[in-house]
């Protein structure tokens, strides 16, 4: 038992072929054949040859089996239900992938002259415009490559904005205690001080505490709406008025736009800046270190500070058919990424928005909210529900069962045995044993019903056989990990 716990990787013996592609190598084995040489043979410059390249010598079948096996060791939205709250792990339509692979896009280079990449620029321009419309903003920059980077970008813009106004005493950023950890991290990175605002008993921002904090030392508030409890900020107008009233700006953390897209425009409600997570709301891949994209929307007062380059439409009198050009906004804080951001993700998001249209996007948000409320109303009999309110696209349960020592972590690990990815566990921090569940709109009623049945089974097991849950998962390639040791003694290479 203790041995197993000390082994961070805890792979089940014999369950899988653990060999690396290098260990599969057999000298002389080949995976491809070169076509017959049709040019005169000549000596290859020795200086370019390495003695020991160490490349594996494997057959095509070795390669296929190795990589398909590796791909199956990962849990993905393409293999099972993935109700990971806050992450919006909706199905990414394959048409988006196919679009991103079109040769017209993959064959372009970011250093090409603008007049040769008009199609790429047009796509970026339209995506900017659609996001402007969806968010209710005056302008959008596609530069940030993640939601967190969008936050940092916005905070740097706030600093520049207040510096230009001579209001350098604004050093504090208010952050509700239900916020994502990236909010205080971005605040600190941007040189502000984070001040936590508590939530009230309904799970919303505590208005009295907010009022007490709002003065001329405040640069702004970072607000996630719906918040990470999946609850709509019921006193949104008062919250925004309070921050604007003291001269501060309101930043919208747009990670939860899957609940609002096509229904409410944060910009129209008074939000000054907001990031979108294309990899959450707009059907593009995320997780596992893939590319992300966190475009930033800005109100008219802040648009000039956006990072460039952004794309604008031009008159087209260059004589070379140029209709779109790159430019840097007048008071831009500068670049936030190399080149143009995650272009491949833009193509996917463009295809996704084009495919769904305004009505489809709204229907998605409505179904996401419906699915979450269906699960909430069925699961509230299985686990404690801390806030008895209609939720938006996600909700939080408490992973504890009367009379059992089973914890949220045990429930999450046991779900893996049933082929279901765990919900977000232990976040938000203000709910003990939090399990944050986001089904998304792409799941069917049958999948949701199956999830409820599995949760009922697990709740029964917690009473009858808690040890089974403490030791879960049992059916996965890798057993229960020592997460503390994995974090403290991070192993980043195969060999050491």
Ligand X SMILES: *Cc1c(COP(=O)(O)O)cnc(C)c1O
Q: Which residues of this chain interact with ligand X, rule CB under 6 A?
A: 86, 146-148, 180, 182, 224, 228, 253, 255, 277, 292, 294
Length of the chain: 496
Residue number with CB closer to ligand X (226 or 473): 226
Residue number with CB closer to ligand X (132 or 224): 224
Residue number with CB closer to ligand X (270 or 287): 287
Q: Rounded CA gap, 481 and 455, in Å?
A: 22
Q: Rounded CA gap, 462 and 68, in Å?
A: 35
CB 180 → ligand X: shortest distance, Å?
3
Residue number with CB closer to ligand X (345 or 351): 345
Residue number with CB closer to ligand X (147 or 399): 147
CB 195 → ligand X: shortest distance, Å?
18
Distance of CA 152 to CAs 137, 172, 199, 271, 376, Å? Answer: 18, 14, 24, 16, 34
CB 466 → ligand X: shortest distance, Å?
31
CB 88 → ligand X: shortest distance, Å?
8
Distance of CA 285 to CAs 25, 192, 267, 311, Å? Answer: 33, 32, 26, 24
CB 392 → ligand X: shortest distance, Å?
12
Measured in whole angstroms, how far is the alpha carbon of residue 169 from the centre of its chain? 33
Would you say 182 and 151 are in contact if contact means Cβ atoms under 8 Å apart?
yes
Q: Rounded CA gap, 298 and 157, in Å?
A: 10
Residue number with CB closer to ligand X (253 or 272): 253
Kindly give the pairing relationship between strand 395-398 and strand 434-437. antiparallel
CB 286 → ligand X: shortest distance, Å?
7
Residues facing residue 274 across a β-bridge: 252, 297
Q: Rounded CA gap, 44 and 48, in Å?
A: 8
Q: 139 by DSSP, 3-state: which?
A: strand
Residue number with CB closer to ligand X (86 or 153): 86
CB 300 → ligand X: shortest distance, Å?
25
Residue number with CB closer to ligand X (58 or 260): 260
Choose among 212, 164, 184: nearest CA to 429. Answer: 184
Backbone angles phi, psi at 348, to 5 degrees: -60, -45
Residue number with CB closer to ligand X (77 or 462): 77
Q: Which residue is nearest to ligand X (CB)?
A: 147
Q: Rounded CA gap, 410 and 466, in Å?
A: 9
CB 227 → ligand X: shortest distance, Å?
8
Distance of CA 305 to CAs 96, 185, 240, Å? Answer: 31, 21, 21
CB 281 → ligand X: shortest distance, Å?
10
């Amino acid at each position: 038992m203790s041995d197993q716990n000390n082994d961070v990787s805890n792979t089940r013996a014999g369950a899988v072929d653990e060999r690396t592609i290098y260990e599969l190598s057999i000298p002389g084995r080949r995976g491809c054949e070169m076509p017959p040489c049709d040019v005169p043979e000549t000596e290859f410059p020795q200086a370019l040859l390495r003695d020991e390249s160490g490349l594996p010598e494997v057959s095509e079948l070795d390669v296929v089996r190795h990589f398909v096996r590796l791909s199956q060791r990962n849990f993905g939205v393409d293999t099972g239900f993935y109700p990971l709250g806050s992450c919006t792990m909706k199905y990414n339509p394959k048409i988006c992938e196919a679009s991103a692979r079109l040769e017209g896009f993959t064959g372009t280079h970011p250093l090409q002259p603008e007049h040769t990449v008009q199609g790429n620029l047009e796509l970026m321009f339209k995506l900017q415009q659609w996001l402007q419309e969806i968010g209710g903003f005056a302008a959008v920059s596609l530069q940030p490559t993640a939601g967190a980077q969008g936050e940092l970008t916005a905070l740097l813009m706030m600093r520049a904005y207040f510096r230009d106004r001579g209001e350098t005493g604004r050093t504090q950023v208010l952050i509700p205690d239900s916020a994502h950890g990236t909010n205080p991290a971005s605040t600190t990175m941007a040189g502000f001080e984070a001040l936590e605002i508590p939530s009230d008993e309904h799970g919303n921002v505590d208005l009295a505490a907010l009022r007490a904090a709002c003065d001329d030392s405040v640069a702004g508030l970072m607000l996630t709406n719906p918040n990470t409890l999946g609850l709509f900020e019921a006193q949104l107008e008062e919250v925004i008025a309070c921050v604007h009233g003291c001269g501060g700006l309101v930043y919208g953390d747009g990670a939860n736009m899957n609940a609002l897209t096509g229904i409410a425009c944060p910009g129209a409600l008074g939000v000054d800046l907001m990031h979108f997570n294309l990899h959450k709301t707009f059907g593009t891949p995320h997780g596992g270190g893939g590319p992300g994209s966190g475009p930033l929307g800005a109100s008219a007062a802040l648009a000039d500070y956006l990072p460039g380059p952004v794309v604008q439409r031009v008159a087209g009198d260059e004589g070379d058919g140029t209709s779109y050009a790159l430019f840097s906004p007048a008071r831009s804080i500068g670049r936030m990424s190399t080149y143009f951001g995650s272009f491949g993700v833009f193509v996917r998001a463009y295809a996704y928005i084009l495919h769904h249209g305004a009505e489809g996007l709204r229907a998605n948000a409505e179904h996401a909210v419906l699915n979450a409320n269906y699960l909430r109303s069925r699961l509230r009999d299985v686990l404690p529900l801390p806030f008895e309110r209609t939720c938006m696209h996600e909700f939080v349960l408490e992973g504890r069962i009367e009379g059992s020592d089973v914890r949220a972590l045990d429930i999450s690990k046991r779900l893996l045995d049933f082929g279901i990815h765990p919900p977000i566990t232990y976040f938000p921090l203000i709910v003990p044993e939090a399990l944050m569940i986001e089904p998304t709109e792409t799941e069917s009623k049958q999948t949701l019903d199956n999830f409820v049945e599995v949760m009922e089974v697990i709740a029964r097991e917690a009473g009858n056989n808690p040890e089974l849950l403490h030791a879960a998962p049992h059916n996965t390639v890798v057993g229960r990990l020592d997460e503390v040791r994995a974090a403290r003694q991070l192993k980043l290479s195969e060999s050491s």
